[in-house]
Copies of this chain bind each other. A is one copy, B any other.
Amino acid sequence: MKKTCETKEKLLQVGFDLIWDSSYGSVSVDDICKRAGINKGSFYYFFPSKADLAVAAYEEHWNEKRPKMDRIFSSQIPPLERIHQWCQYIYEGQKEKAEKYGHVCGCPFASVGSEIATFDEKIRAKSEFLMNSSRKYVESALTDAIREGTVTVKDPVATSLTLQSLLLGMLLEARVQNDLKVLDNMESTILDFIGAKAGSVLATT
């Protein structure tokens, strides 16, 4: 695989950051180009449209995130420990972003997905796909936890779906309230919800 052009990468990264921070509709192609220090013509050399950049930026972001997720959700790690690390990872990510941009930003796929769901099918479908890809990690951890007997829930698919909703809702509220405190009880709420048995998660903090 050839190394992608620097300009293209810069556009993907800047585009993703700007759109995540504010919204798809309020970030213009000019904004992205200006911030990236790149001419508009180059933007349209690499991407046929603003929507295509958004989809590509999502893809890129996901690809960068995957190795970390694979590590967190490795089968070598006890399932409840995976959930614990995942919660920490989410919180840390939100905290970093908030410090960098001065706002709690929530889930990028959810924010933009919700924004344009009813009128841009390409982005909508990508959001849905990536949100589901993310959920599958949780599903597999739950499957293992159920087999192990360290949780009381029975159905890993249904539970992961509910957990996903809960998480997305919390991230949404954190964004709207612009307050990380919303996420403070995230892990305990999640562990409580799946009926994690006391002592099954090692204290690592």
Contacts and interface: CB of A to CB of B under 8 A. Distances in A.
A103 B115 contact: no
A128 interface: yes
A128 B106 CA distance: 15
Contacts of A178: 117-118, 124
Between A110, A115, A162, the greatest number of chain B beta carbons within 10 A of the residue's beta carbon is seen for A115
A166 B26 CA distance: 28
Contact of A119 (B26, B118, B177): B26
Nearest to A179: B128
A178 B76 CA distance: 37
A23 interface: yes
Between A167, A176, A193, the greatest number of chain B beta carbons within 10 A of the residue's beta carbon is seen for A176
Within the oligomer, what is the number of copies of this chain? 2
Where chain A touches its partner, the secondary structure class is: helix
B117 A114 contact: no
Contacts of A189: 162
Contact of A175 (B21, B24, B103, B114): B114
A118 B131 contact: no
Contacts of A177: 128
A136 to B, nearest CB: 15
A116 B170 CA distance: 17
A131 B128 CA distance: 24
Contact of A115 (B25, B158, B162, B166): B25
A7 interface: no
A115 B111 contact: yes
Nearest to A110: B172
Interface of A: 21-26, 101, 103, 105-106, 110-111, 113-119, 124, 127-128, 131, 158, 162, 164-170, 172-173, 175-178, 185, 189, 193
